[in-house]
C-alpha cells in the first residue's frame, strides 16, 4: 500500500469512528464537550494503541491532519443531529462497522510494514479495529459491541483472514484491502440485518 492510500484510508476510518462516538454520546444526552471527548477517544483510540504497541510515533501527533479530520467529523455529526434529532442507533452501528473494517486493514498493513509475522499482524488489526469502539462503549457504560451476540470480533477476524489469504496468494495490495473490507462489512451488516449469530464458542447448555 502506498503512503497515500494508507493516509486516505486512515482519514476515512478516523472520520467514521468519530461520527460513531458522537452519535452514541448524543444518544446518552451529554451536553458540552463530553461528546467531543467521546468522539475523539473513539476515533483515535485504536490507532493510538496500535502505534504505541508498534513503538511508532503516534499518528495524530506526527500528522495533525487526523486531529482536524476528527474534529471536523464530530462537528458535522453534531450539526447533522441537531436537524435530525430522531437519528436511530442503527446509523451508529453502520458507521462503526465501516470504521472497524478500515482500521482492521490499516492495522494489519502497518504491522506488516514493521516486519511482524502474520499472526501478530492479524491481532494488531483486531486491536486497531476494536479498541476505539470498546473505549467508547466503556465510557458510555454500554454493553461493549464485542460482548453482544451479533458477529463483531468474528467479522473483524474473518476480514483479517481474508487479507492474509489474498496476501499469501500474491494478489495486489489494493485487492487485498478491498477483499478484507468487503468480508468484514458483509459479515457485520449481514449479522445486523439477518441476526446471524456465531455459536462456535458458546456453552452447551442443553445436553441429553
Binding site for its own copies (CB under 8 A): 26, 28-38, 40, 48, 52-55, 57-58, 60-61, 64, 67-68, 78, 81-82, 85, 116-117, 119-120, 123-124, 126, 130, 134, 138-141, 143-144, 146-149, 151-154, 156-157, 197-205, 207
Q: How far is the CB of 131 from its own copies (least distance, A)?
A: 9
User: What is the chain's percent helix, strand, coil content, to nearest 5?
Assistant: 75, 0, 25
User: Rounded CA gap, 87 and 91, in Å?
Assistant: 7
Q: Which of 54/113 has CB closer to its own copies?
A: 54
CB of 205 to its own copies, least distance (A): 6
User: Please, which residue, 150 or 174, has the CB nearer to its own copies?
Assistant: 150
Question: According to DSSP H, which parts of 84-172 are helical?
Answer: 89-113, 118-139, 153-168
Which lies closer to its own copies via its Cβ, residue 67 or residue 165? 67
Which conformational region is residue 198 in: left (phi greater than 0), alpha (psi within -120 to 50 degrees), or beta?
beta
- Closest approach of Cβ 85 to its own copies, in Å? 5
Answer for the pair 10, 59: CB distance below 8 angstroms, yes or no.
yes
> CB 82: neighbour CB atoms within 10 A?
9
Shortest separation between residue 58's beta carbon and its own copies, angstroms: 5
User: What is the Cα–Cα distance from 178 to 118, expressed in whole angstroms?
Assistant: 18
Closer by beta carbon to its own copies, 33 or else 173: 33
Amino acid at each position: 500500500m502506498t503512503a497515500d492510500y494508507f493516509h486516505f484510508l486512515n482519514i476515512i476510518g478516523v472520520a467514521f469512528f468519530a461520527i460513531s462516538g458522537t452519535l452514541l454520546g448524543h444518544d446518552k444526552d451529554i451536553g458540552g464537550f463530553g461528546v467531543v471527548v467521546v468522539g475523539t477517544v473513539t476515533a483515535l483510540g485504536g490507532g493510538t494503541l496500535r502505534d504505541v504497541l508498534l513503538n511508532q510515533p503516534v499518528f495524530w501527533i506526527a500528522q495533525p491532519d487526523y486531529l482536524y479530520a476528527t474534529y471536523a467529523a464530530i462537528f458535522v455529526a453534531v450539526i447533522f443531529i441537531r436537524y435530525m434529532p430522531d437519528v436511530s442507533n442503527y446509523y451508529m452501528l453502520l458507521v462503526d462497522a465501516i470504521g472497524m473494517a478500515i482500521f482492521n486493514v490499516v492495522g494489519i498493513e502497518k504491522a506488516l510494514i514493521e516486519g511482524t509475522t502474520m499472526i501478530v499482524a492479524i491481532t494488531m488489526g483486531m486491536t486497531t479495529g476494536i479498541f476505539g469502539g470498546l473505549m467508547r462503549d466503556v465510557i458510555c457504560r454500554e454493553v461493549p459491541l464485542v460482548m453482544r451476540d451479533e458477529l463483531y470480533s468474528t467479522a473483524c477476524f474473518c476480514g483479517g483472514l481474508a487479507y492474509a489469504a489474498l496476501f499469501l496468494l500474491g494478489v495486489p495490495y489494493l485487492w487485498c484491502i478491498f477483499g478484507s473490507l468487503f468480508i468484514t462489512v458483509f459479515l457485520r451488516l449481514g449479522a445486523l440485518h439477518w441476526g446471524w449469530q456465531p455459536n462456535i464458542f458458546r456453552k452447551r447448555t442443553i445436553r441429553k
